[in-house]
Amino acid sequence: MVDFKDPELFADAEDADIVKEAKRLQVEPTEYNFTERDVILYNLGIGATHEELQWVYEGDEDFGAIPTFGVVPQFVAASGFPSDWLPDYNPAKLLHGEQYMAIKAPIPTSGELVSDVRLMEVLDKGKAAACTLCTQTRDKRTGQVIFENHQTSFIRGSGGFGGKRVGSDRGASTAENTPPKRAPDAVVEEQTQPIQAALYRLSGDYNPLHIQPEFAAIGGFAKPILHGLCSMGISGKHVFKTFGAYKDIKVRFAGVIYPGETLVISMWKEGNKVIFTTKVKERDSPVLTAAGVTLVDDSTKAKL
């Protein structure tokens, strides 16, 4: 297990001085206590239906969380990590760029989890900064690591501080996941519901961008938009239903979805990986790119 108390964790000789100092920042662990109700609420938030009892009925013998639930316990921890050390930092100019989540142990349906977060990598993109946080979520009682998340955000207007411009290769976490030049092995469509964002926000992301029209208008949107992590969850759900269990998932957020629009998820199986893309059908607009999962077992499909 990574020692999040190590002040030199993720140290890099190429970093600018302000980045070296920021990487030494440590914040208090964040607790996440949850019950089966929270699991059901998340599953419903990413489109589970009343017919999928393994996801919406706690009494079902196969009841469990859809794998992307792992983005929920870490959200408050990652959101609370300071970014005001960046030059000309403006939170309104922050964009969620990429998300990687690894599943390290069976996902519980209730319990007490603790998340530790540290700054993992910072890139100077000239007119912007790209900051990646690493959040490790463990069982409070046993210390068992359940999830590891890498969240990359782009902060416009905060570049020009020097240091690294090109990121390190972290395997599945940074893979480009370019679709092969052939027809997809599977294509699935799901129409999101007009209430999708209002429902998903109850899993912890209360940003008014996703619910209040006036706030969305300030951001330049015609109406509130769907959470990026919700589109990741919907897509990850269909990869799971089509190809089976996976041990990690990575996506790049490439566009917005308005609740009620239809998502088209195209999937290509390449060995033990499934590469996928997600777009909005009505506007033929990309939503998720550079996306992929690593299958637990590439020879069988999960029994659903």
pLDDT per residue as tens, the chain (304 positions): 678 888 899 999 999 999 999 999 999 999 999 999 999 999 999 999 999 999 999 999 999 999 999 999 999 899 999 999 999 998 888 899 999 999 999 999 999 999 999 999 999 999 999 999 999 999 999 999 999 999 999 999 999 999 899 999 999 999 999 999 999 999 999 999 999 999 999 999 999 999 999 999 988 899 999 999 999 999 999 999 999 999 999 999 999 999 999 999 999 999 999 999 999 999 999 999 999 999 998 654 443 3
Task: Please work out, in degrees rounded to the nearest 5, the angle formed at the alpha carbon of residue 122 by the alpha carbons of 116 and 127.
Answer: 135
CA 85 to CA 83: how far, in whole Å? 5
Classify residue 74: in a domain, yes or no: yes
- In a shared domain, residues 263 and 157: no
Would residue 50 show up in a list of annotated catalytic residues for this protein?
Answer: no
In a domain, 254, yes or no: yes
Of 114, 131, 165, the residue at which a domain comes to its end is 165
Annotation marks residue 96 as catalytic: no
Helix, strand or coil for residue 294?
Answer: strand
Residue 42 lies in a domain: yes
pLDDT for 304 equals: 37
Number of domains the chain contains: 2
Q: Which of 146, 155, 225, 249 is catalytic?
A: 225
Domain that holds residue 288: 186-295
Q: Are residues 155 and 36 in the same domain?
A: yes
Tell me, yes or no, whether 180 lies in a domain: no
In the set 150, 210, 227, 238, the catalytic residue is 210
Same domain, 43 and 77: yes
What integer pLDDT is reported at residue 31 of this predicted model?
97
Q: What is the CATH number of the domain that holds 59?
A: 3.10.129.10
Kindly state the tokens that stand for 239.
Answer: 């990869």
- C-beta separation of 99 from 136 below 8 A: no
* Residue 10 domain-assigned (yes or no): no
Same domain flag for 147 and 257: no
Assigned domain for 144 exists: yes
Residues 26, 160 within the same domain: yes
Q: Domain check: are 111 and 217 in the same one? A: no
Do 104 and 70 contact (CB within 8 A), yes or no?
Answer: no
pLDDT reported for residue 7: 86
Helices 228-243 and 36-45: angle between axes, nearest 10 degrees: 90
Q: Are residues 197 and 120 in the same domain?
A: no
Question: For residue 117, is it within any domain?
Answer: yes
The token pair that represents 255 in the structure block? 């566009």
Based on the fold, state whether residues 109 and 66 are members of the same structural domain.
yes
Q: Is there a domain that residue 3 lies in? A: no
Those residues whose C-beta lies under 8 Å from the C-beta of residue 155, and which sit 6 or more positions away, are 83, 86, 89, 90, 93, 94, 95, 128, 129, 130, 131
Catalytic residue among 15, 38, 124, 205: 205
Q: Has 62 been annotated as catalytic?
A: no
**Active-site annotation holds for 103:** no
- The answer to whether residues 23 and 82 belong to one domain is yes
CA distance 150 to 118: 10
> Do residues 245 and 129 both lie within one domain?
no
